[in-house]
Amino acid sequence: MTARESIHRHAFRTMGTTVEMVLVGGELTDALGAFALAETLANQWERTFSRFRPDSELSRMNAAAGHPVVTSVELFSCVSAAANASRQTAGLFDPTILPALLAIGYDRTFADIAGAPADPPAPAPAPGLTGIQLDPATRTITVQPDVRIDLGGIAKGMYADVLAARLSGWPGGAISAGGDLRVWGISPSGNAWQVGVEDPSRPDRDVAVLGLSDGGVATSGISRRSWRRGRQSVHHLIDPRTGTPARTGIQTVTVTSPTAMQAEVAATALYVGGEAGTTLARILPLISNAIIVRETGEIREITGNLEERPHASNVNVA
C-alpha cells in the first residue's frame, strides 16, 4: 500500500454494542456506500436476533416454543451453526442457556440490571440440542416448550463474517461487532493487521498485539458483564452443564480462528470449560491461537491446530 491510499473508518451503535469498521483503499463515496450497507445489515440483524425486542424473529420463535416455526434464512443458518458449535465443543457452547441467564437476572438489557436482592433460584443444566429440532428442507425450527434460545454472541460473529464477505472486494478491511472481529486483506500499514487484545484489568491497554492477515478474533470474559444477585456475584458466561456462571479462574480468553463466528464459539467454550485437557482437546482443532488471561494476571498462549498462526507480539506478561 502506498501512503496515498485511503483509510476509511466508521463506528455506529447497534445490537446493543458498537460496530467499528476500517476499510483500506477505494474512494470515499464507495466507503460511504459500504457503511450504509453495514447499518442496513445491522438493522436486519436486530430485527432477527435480538432477545430484548419482543417483535424480533428470535423472540417470536421462543414465544412459540412447542410449535414448529418457519424461519428466515438468517435465523435458520444461525441456529444451525449454534447447534453445530454445540456438537463440536461437546456442549460447552450451548444456545439453550437462556433460561439460566434469566434466572440470574439477565432478563433485561445489561444497562438496566441492578443488584437483585434475592438469591437466584436453584440452577438446572441447559437442555442442549435435545431441545431443538431443525428441518432444513422447510427451514422449520421447533424448540421444546421449556427451551429458550439465545444467539447474542454467535449472531454478532456471524454479522461480522457476512459483512466481510459482502465487502470482500475491498483490498483490506476490519469489522468489529462488539469485539467479534473479522479482518481481511491489507491493513493500513500494508502488512498483517495488528489486533490489540484488550487488557481485562485496564481496558485502555492491550495485553498483546496479534498479527493476523485474514481471519476472526473474539474475546470472552466477565470483566464487562458481572453483577450481584442476592449474596452472589454472577456473570453471563453460563456453564451449560450446571446452569450456573462458569468458575474457571480465567478473566478473559481471546481466540483466533478462520471466522469471527468460530472464534466467538471457541472463546466462549474455552472460557466455560477452562484449561482442562479435555476442553483443550475439543477446542484446539477449532482455533489457530488463544491467549488466556487468568484471574491471577498470568497470561498463557496456546497454539491451535489450524494453519494460520497469528504472530503475537508485545505480550505484556503480568
Partner 1 sequence: MSDNQENQGEPSPNESTRDGKKLERAAKRQERETRAKRIILIGSLASFLGFFGLSVAAQPFSGAQVTGTQAPASAAPSHDDDDDDEDHGPALFTNGAQIRTRTS
Positions touching partner 1 (CB under 8 A) are: 1, 3-18, 20, 22, 28, 31-32, 35-36, 39, 46, 50-53, 109-111, 152-153, 156, 174, 176, 178-181, 183, 187-189, 193-198, 200, 203-206, 209, 217-221, 223-225, 252, 254, 314
- C-alpha distances in Å from residue 167, one per residue of 9, 38, 194, 196, 256: 14, 9, 20, 22, 20
Closer to partner 1 by Cβ: residue 38 or 127? 38
Of 270, 268, 259, the C-alpha closest to 301 is 270
* Shortest Å distance, C-beta 177 to partner 1: 9
Residue 198 grid cell: 484488550
Classify each residue of 287-310 as buried b or exposed e, where b means 16 or more C-beta atoms within 10 Å of its C-beta: bbbbbbbeeeeebeebebebeeeb
Report in angstroms how near the CB of residue 6 gets to partner 1 at its nearest: 4
Residue 51 or residue 148: which is nearer to partner 1 going by CB? 51
Question: Least CB distance from residue 112 to partner 1, whole Å?
Answer: 9
Smallest gap from Cβ 136 to partner 1, in A, equals 28
Q: Is 287 helix (H, G, I), strand (E, B) or coil?
A: coil
Least CB distance to partner 1 at residue 220 (A): 7
Q: 35 vs 76, which CB is nearer to partner 1?
A: 35
Query: Which are the contacts of 206, defined by CB distance < 8 A and separation ≥ 6?
Result: 196, 197, 198, 199, 314, 316
The smaller minimum CB distance to partner 1, of residues 100 and 127, is found at 100
Report the nearest approach of partner 1 to the CB of residue 53 (Å): 5
Q: How far is the CB of 271 from partner 1 (least distance, A)?
A: 10
Q: Which is nearer to partner 1, 131 or 257 (CB)?
A: 257
Question: For the CA atoms of 197, 313, 296, 113, what is the dihedral angle to 10 degrees?
Answer: 0
CA distance 191 to 211: 9
Distance of alpha carbon 149 from alpha carbon 132, whole angstroms: 9
Q: Which is nearer to partner 1, 176 or 262 (CB)?
A: 176
214, 260 contact by CB (below 8 A): no
**Positive or negative torsion for Cα 127, 146, 243, 216:** positive
What residue type is assigned to position 140 of the chain? T
Which amino acid, residue 244? Answer: T
Q: Which is nearer to partner 1, 36 or 64 (CB)?
A: 36
